[in-house]
Structure 1
Amino acid sequence: MKQTESPLKYAEVGSTCGAPDDVWPIDKRYALFTAVIIFFIGMFDLVDRQVIASLFPHLKEEFALSDKQLGLLVSAVNISISVLVEPSAYLVDHWSRKKMIFLMGTIWSVSTLLCGFVTGFTHLLMARLLCGFGEAGYQPAGQSLLSACFPRKFRATATAIVTCGMSLGAPVGLMIGAFVSEHWGWRHAFGVVAIPGLLLSFLALRMHDFKVVAAEAPKKKGFWAQRGDYLATLREIVKMPTVLCVICSAVCIRMFNGVLLSWTPTYFTRVAEVPMTVASTYASLIIVAESLAIFLGGPVVDWVKSRSNRLVPIWLCFAMLSSGALYVIAYKLCQPGSMMQVALLVTSSLIFGTVFSAGTFLIVDLTAANYRATAISLMILSQNLLGYSVGPIVTGTISDMFNLSTAMVMSSFVLLAGAIFYGICIFSYPRDKERSTCVDIEFH
């Protein structure tokens, strides 16, 4: 039987691959326009996703929900993302990145708008599931497109732009939700945050996309042959130990961040007994600190990598250990709602934020453009199915069993586990980097 050639070996040569690391693959103006659009779409992705966390008290009162049900409303988005992220990533690599961004943004914006018209928990849960279906393909498309627009020298910075926009959207969603619900009611909050994402989705159609330049025109294949190539691609991706460790660490990071985004406002209102507006302000300070660190973390990782490949996972391991320890101290030893606790949580988030985009950067750095979205989707699938979707539910369950303060302390320990996986990358990343491939691309 003739052995099928690995799809990762397809069109590995070209002028793009041979260009210096500081050369822009596309005109810098177009690259920056793409960065701005993807940043703001990503921001409103998280605004639409996280606005519900600031509405927990209103939803609990109106629909008589338990903490477990509130956590499920957050996790539902991540569960539905997990269902569609792989087929969405396949379309990204084989269809169009900018059209996928437009389609995803439109779906999640409309579904967020529908949340304002629900009449019970079941309807709200269905709308949240639809929101997750819309968000499934955005990050693979955005990361794949933006990383291709930037020079290899600035890849970590490019991936940080996407992640920073998404992270910044969380506190914006919390503040808008708290303000609008207090003055006009919780239903109006969904409508206010849905419109900007819809408008930005149409602007995404003006971005430039790219295609892989092949040495030979690919032969037309049937469905089963294409499926075989896709499975072969997946096998080649997971053969890299660094990718597997990055995925495991990303699960730990997103599991804790899901808890941080979903339960921090409720923690301050319930445990510290402060008004919802004050609680949302505290939560926003913590998450904004994380967002700023994400943006600064990209250039830091680029600088560290320019010194040595091995220094990147060393830094990430240290950041995970130190931030995890500080979160445990803040929730366990500090007076809830005190300035000391808030300051320590902000400091922890400044360190924690630097690791956020690093996982995507490592995957982008090890994969070629023609299957990069597929590789990123594996991480997104894992971090949503095992991270974001699990964290809020488990925390809500522990809170129902004990109390929310205990649940927050226990959730912080997951960062210490994530540090172990980056510790393994100290040895695997340099070897995987030497074996990584490249393809030639052109923009259109």
Structure 2
Amino acid sequence: MAMAPLNDGRHLERDASGSATHLISRRTAWGVFALAFALQLTDFIDRQIIVAAFPALKAEWGLSDTQLGALVSLVSVTVALGALPLAHLADRWSRVKSIAAMGAVWSLAAVTCALSGNYGQLVAARAALGVGEAGYGPAGGALLSSLFPQRLRSTVVGAFQAAGPLGAVIGVFLGGLMIDQLGWRTTLAVFALPGLVLSLLFLRVRDYRTADPTVAADPGTPPAPAHRARLRGILAELFRAPTAVAAYLGGALQLVVLSTLYTWLPSYLNRSYGYPVATAGAVAAVVIIAGAVGTVVLGYLADRAGAARTRNKLVVPALLALVTLTVLTTAFAWTPTGPLQLCLIIAGGFTITAAIGPVPAVVIDVVKPEVRATALGMVTLVQNLFGLAVGPLLAGLLSDAYGLPAALALMPLFCAGAAAAFWYASRTYERDLRSDADSAAPAIAL
């Protein structure tokens, strides 16, 4: 979708063929952003609040760190498995209706988590919660990308994604306070309700029209069934640009470290500092807030750097991945517990989110408009399956074997791989942008 500025402060949206679809005022665009942000907030509250319940679950059911980490990783696995088909459904059906449906499903699953009577039931409920969350991020990102011009996409998408860390803050901080007073079951149930209300409100948002052209088979290729041709064309588009592939990988590796920090920091503070659950949650919340601020500020920095030279949009997260590696390894491997260590952890929490905005924005830039939600579904799939799912479980395994401090000192090494992937993507980004702009190939059939 192309956005043409108008003199009265509105934007005219055009589809892939250049046909005008509808007018969008800045007020409407930011109103939709606010509603999408709020729903994303409830998503991550329901997803992350279980971390505040780790001490209670460990005491009540005698769970190991591996079992506790699996409760977080499992959601990421089901999000990954559902992301691509649900994102493709959103491209074909309706972004708005998909968003509303996903919000209702994960909120009902969160209620089921609160009613679980044993570990197996809780595992099943957490898996269902991940299924509900799978299609929301891609559909929301695609919807917002149609409402704002390209020059603002890293900032807007980064701000939208910042609802994740902020939701995690609320889940960990308020969850820790409420669990002490109400118990983990009641706390989980209370935080599930806002998502249902916001899902209904989202049905009032106006969707944007999707393109539906046909795919031409390559010359000399025997005809294939229509659905196979569509699938082949979509997959080819998702992996056509080397920049997109490297961005998928780099974002996932960075999130291995982020998910480890957000999942295990409250338990580390509880065990190493002797903090009660509420205090550990409050300190961890400061780190997550630093990450939320970093998502917006560093996404804006990447946009500004990219305005001077396009490849800098990926150079910035590459350099900051190395900063994160240095700071967090120093904090957990060589710094004793105390104020200096906490300051280093907060600094690492700020820089660790540098890629959250640029990665989806760059992917959107190098794929065709009619598969944006599907492309963001691929981002979600790779980042959840090879990033968010890996961190909590692998750190739990390392913790059971070597102790939690050693696990937290080793996991930041994944940032080195992220930096390498972003650096490679920065070297192909400008070429892929030119290739996309100059391409005369038919659009992808949905």
Distance 1:86 1:426 in 2: 25
Q: Which residue does the alignment assign to 1:85?
A: 83
Task: Give 1:212 shift.
Answer: 3.1
Q: How does 1:248-267 map to 2 (within 5 A)?
A: 248-267=249-268
Q: Is the 8 A contact 1:50 1:170 kept in 2?
A: yes
Task: Give 1:237 shift.
Answer: 2.1
Q: Is the 8 A contact 1:25 1:148 kept in 2?
A: no
Q: Is the 8 A contact 1:251 1:382 kept in 2?
A: yes
Q: Is the 8 A contact 1:30 1:207 kept in 2?
A: no
Q: Could you tell me which amino acid in structure 2 is paired with residue 142 of structure 1?
A: G
**Deviation readout 1:90-134 (Å, 9 max, x if unpaired):** 111100001111011001011111111111000000000000010
Q: Which residue does the alignment assign to 1:395?
A: 395
Q: 1:213 to 1:49 in 2, by over 3 A?
A: closer
Q: Which residue does the alignment assign to 1:200?
A: 198
Q: Is the 8 A contact 2:36 2:140 kept in 1?
A: yes
Q: Which residue does the alignment assign to 2:128?
A: 130
Q: Could you tell me which amino acid in structure 2 is paired with residue 312 of structure 1?
A: K
Q: 1:207 to 1:227 in 2, by over 3 A?
A: farther
Q: Percent identity?
A: 29
Task: Give 1:214 shift.
Answer: 6.2
Task: Give 1:12 shift.
Answer: 4.1
Q: Which residue does the alignment assign to 1:320?
A: 321
Distance 2:283 2:209 in 1: 45
Comparing 209-218 with 397-406, greater Cα deviation is found at: 209-218
Q: Is the 8 A contact 1:148 1:369 kept in 2?
A: no
Q: 1:228 to 1:270 in 2, by over 3 A?
A: same
| Residue aligned with 2:436, SS | coil
Could you list the runs of 5+ residues in structure 2 that have no partner in the other structure? 1-14, 217-223, 441-446
| Residue aligned with 1:324, SS | helix
Q: Which residue does the alignment assign to 2:102?
A: 104
**Deviation readout 1:197-236 (Å, 9 max, x if unpaired):** 1111111111121113568999xxxx94134212221112
**Deviation readout 1:356-397 (Å, 9 max, x if unpaired):** 211111101112321011111112111111111111111101
Q: Which residue does the alignment assign to 1:8?
A: none
Task: Give 1:354 shift.
Answer: 2.3
- Is the counterpart of residue 428 in structure 1 residue 432 in structure 2? no
Q: Is the 8 A contact 1:25 1:151 kept in 2?
A: no
Distance 1:265 1:144 in 2: 34
Q: Scaled by the length of structure 2, what TM-score is found?
A: 0.90
Q: Which residue does the alignment assign to 2:159?
A: 161
Q: Could you tell me which amino acid in structure 2 is paired with residue 52 of structure 1?
A: I
Q: Which residue does the alignment assign to 2:310?
A: 309
Distance 1:215 1:90 in 2: 15
Q: Is the 8 A contact 1:30 1:208 kept in 2?
A: no
Q: Is the 8 A contact 2:92 2:210 kept in 1?
A: no
Of 14, 17, 22, 2:18 maps to: 14
Distance 2:318 2:153 in 1: 20
Q: Could you tell me which amino acid in structure 2 is paired with residue 156 of structure 1?
A: S
- Is the counterpart of residue 76 in structure 1 residue 78 in structure 2? no
Q: Which residue does the alignment assign to 1:20?
A: none
Q: Which residue does the alignment assign to 1:442?
A: none
Could you list the runs of 5+ residues in structure 1 that have no partner in the other structure? 1-10, 18-23, 440-444
Q: Is the 8 A contact 2:398 2:404 kept in 1?
A: yes
Q: Scaled by the length of structure 1, what TM-score is found?
A: 0.90
Task: Give 1:157 shift.
Answer: 1.3
Q: How does 1:209-288 map to 2 (within 5 A)?
A: 209-212=207-210, 224-288=225-289
Q: Which residue does the alignment assign to 1:375?
A: 375
Ranges of 4+ aligned residues in structure 1 off by more than 4 Å: 213-218
| Residue aligned with 2:424, SS | helix
**Deviation readout 1:60-107 (Å, 9 max, x if unpaired):** 111111111101111111111122111101111100001111011001
Q: How does 1:331-342 map to 2 (within 5 A)?
A: 331-336=332-337, 338-342=338-342
Q: Is the 8 A contact 2:328 2:412 kept in 1?
A: yes
